[in-house]
Amino acid sequence: MQIFFRILLAIYMAHLLSDFIFQPASLVEQKRRGKFSAYLLHGLIHYVTSILLVGFFVRASAGSFRTYLVLLLLTAIHLLLDATKIRLSARDVLRNDALTYASDQLIHFFTIVFAAWLLTPGMALAQLFAFAGLSRAAQTKWFAVPIVYIGVVFGGGYLIRDLTRGMAESIKNQSPAESGEELQNAGLYIGWLERFLVVTALLLHSPATVGLILTAKSIARYPEFKSKRFAEYFLIGTLLSIAVALLGGIVLAKLLFGSVQLA
């Protein structure tokens, strides 16, 4: 079970890295245009990252042909899911919203769990339902730190952008001089730093820092609050961002320290 959990975390970290950090917007746009080279590059990044992380954290798997085969299959499924999502969205079968995003990530996670099970020798399928209890193990709990940080900082950013896309489009229609896409991107990048600082503040037992972050962000954006639409967009986006970061910080603090100190 310990090996299964380490493999699972390694593959999931590779997924987060290849989707949110190693995949620039230009590559996503090329995939939307149906360019095979873009899918090939993304698949190569996903495959190599998975091999490196699994081989590093579970060294015995590095010399196994089964590892390379399973991860190759996982990469192929990953690309198939990406292509299916893009095509269905282009045909308006799927909406480009938070529900689609969350569903897509959940399907990816289930494929990763299955791949980790295939790479764990002698593990019965029924044992998959008992692996969560191992997250408190000393050898793996620190491994969860980058998982939570990447998921909260980057994955949370794209989720919030999808949730507030309608409001951003409304602001764009009211103020054509300000591109809604630029507005969303600015909020995305600020949110990355914001969530990183909030999670870190909770781990350092300094919840008061969260208030300082909110104050600084509000002061910087104060001139734009003359627009009621923008003020609503800012407030909803900020609260969603803080909520995601708090949830991630609480989960991580509970995992690492066994308790959460909010004072």
For position 206, what pLDDT does the model report?
78
The number of beta carbons lying within 10 Å of the beta carbon of residue 169 is: 14
Residues 190-196: what's their mean pLDDT?
Answer: 85
What is d(CA 39, CA 41) in angstroms, rounded to the nearest whole number?
A: 5
Structure tokens at 96: 């480009």
What is d(CA 161, CA 184) in angstroms, rounded to the nearest whole number?
A: 7
10 Å CB burial of residue 91 (0-12, 13-18, 19+) is: exposed
10 Å CB burial of residue 181 (0-12, 13-18, 19+) is: exposed
For position 132, what pLDDT does the model report?
47
pTM, to two decimals: 0.68
What is d(CA 62, CA 60) in angstroms, rounded to the nearest whole number?
A: 6
- Model confidence over 244-262: pLDDT tens digits? 999 988 888 888 777 666 5
Using an 8 Å Cβ cutoff, are 241 and 191 in contact? yes
- Model confidence over 226-235: pLDDT tens digits? 777 778 888 8
